[in-house]
Structure formats: C-alpha cells, structure tokens
Amino acid sequence: MLQQTQVARVVDYYHAFVTRFPTLRHVAEAPPSAVTEAWAGLGYYARARNLHALAREVAAAGGALPAEPAALRALPGIGPYTAGAVASFAFERRAALVDTNVARVLRRAFAPALDPKTGAGQRALWAIAESILPRSGRAAWTHNQALMELGALVCTARARHCTRCPVRAHCATFAAEVPLPARHRSS
DNA sequence: CTCCAGGACT
DNA sequence: AGTCCAGGAG
C-alpha cells in the first residue's frame, strides 16, 4: 500500500485490510475482487492485483515468505525497495533499501550533484546504501529505520530542517550552504 | 529507458 | 499545472 502513497493516507486502509485479511493465506483464498474491493479509494490498483497474485504464489509454495532479497524480488509487486524492506524489517537480514526518503537523504549527505531520477543515479545511491550498512542484521534494521525517519521527519522534500538534523556535521549539502566559520557555532 | 497509477498539497 | 509520495512492470 505504501508504494508511491503517503503513509497518512494508507494507515486507515491498512488497518481495515489486515482486519479483513489477517494473514497472507486469507488473501490467497479470497477472490481477486474481494482484494480489489478492500483497495477501493487507494488507487494504483495494480498493487492489489499483484498482492493477490503474490499471496497465491506464496501459498502454493508452502505459505512462507522468503527472507532473501533476491527471492522476494521474484514475487509479483516486489521490486528492489520492497525486497530490501521486507528482508530488513521483517527478517532482520543485512539488506540495503532505498526508497524516496532514503534516496533524498543519501543524495544530500553524500552526493548532492547526483540525479536520482536516472538509472545511474539510482545505482549509485544503492551502492552508497550498501557501503554504509552496519555489520549485523539487527543493527541494519535500526540503521534503515533511522534513515527513513530522517528523510520523513527532518530531511524532508520541500523544506529540510538542518538545524534539527543529527548528522548535519557530516552532510555535504549542509557544508555547501553554511560558511565554515558559522558552522562551528551551530554544530 | 519509458510508462503506469491516484490522490493531496503547493 | 506541477510536485510528491515507504515503486514496479514492461
């Protein structure tokens, strides 16, 4: 539901959905129309169709979601981001993930000139994400969560709040905008 | 690469 | 009208 859809608009749909379909198997056993119906108003209905197809595929394969990003990636509706997110957040695998928030944070902090809209830009951001991943899966869980929160709450798209940013001392964008003398007092 | 989807906010 | 959003498929 969160693919290209803001959290605030998803929350209510999510709770209603997991109430009606408590497990993936419930989704798999329901007709496609029931899933689409629960999706009404959310838009991007391909996601509902993908979720239903995924549920049936997983159910047919024994009922358990795979934990590895590559295996997740093979399922319908699971792309690079969702594969990384599920591997990290659900299974505590040491996996990188780059969503719109993380892409913005990494670009501003490490590569301001990089264009995230291009394929080369995306690859570069994923490479950065991999390179700064902590050693353990548990630490990576916290690390990934923190990166996303930083992007959602502080390093936001329209107005970034550098004065409240815990990592501004290490940020290339902040360094470029604030003159060196002033940086000592503010950090 | 391009195209896709839908609603909110500027 | 344009931008943005916990992107993915073709």
A181 in contact with nucleic chain B (CB within 7 A): no
CA–C1' distance A180–C10 (Å)? 48
Cβ–Cβ under 8 Å, residues A143 and A133: yes
pLDDT at position A180 is 65
* Of the candidates A5, A59, A56, the residue with the CA atom closest to the CA atom of residue A32: A56
A61 in contact with nucleic chain C (CB within 7 A): no
Given a cut of 60, is residue A184 above it in pLDDT?
no
- Residue A56 token pair: 């049936």
Q: What CATH code would you report for A1-64? A: 1.10.340.30
Domain boundaries, chain A: 1-64, 93-187
A101 in contact with nucleic chain C (CB within 7 A): yes
Instruction: State which fold the A93-187 domain adopts.
Output: Endonuclease Iii, domain 2 (1.10.1670)
- List, for residues A132-158, the tens digit of each pLDDT value: 999 999 999 999 999 999 999 999 998
- List, for residues A161-178, the tens digit of each pLDDT value: 999 999 999 999 999 987
Q: Which residue's CA lies closest to nucleotide B1 at its C1' atom?
A: A119
Rounded average pLDDT over A53-62? 94
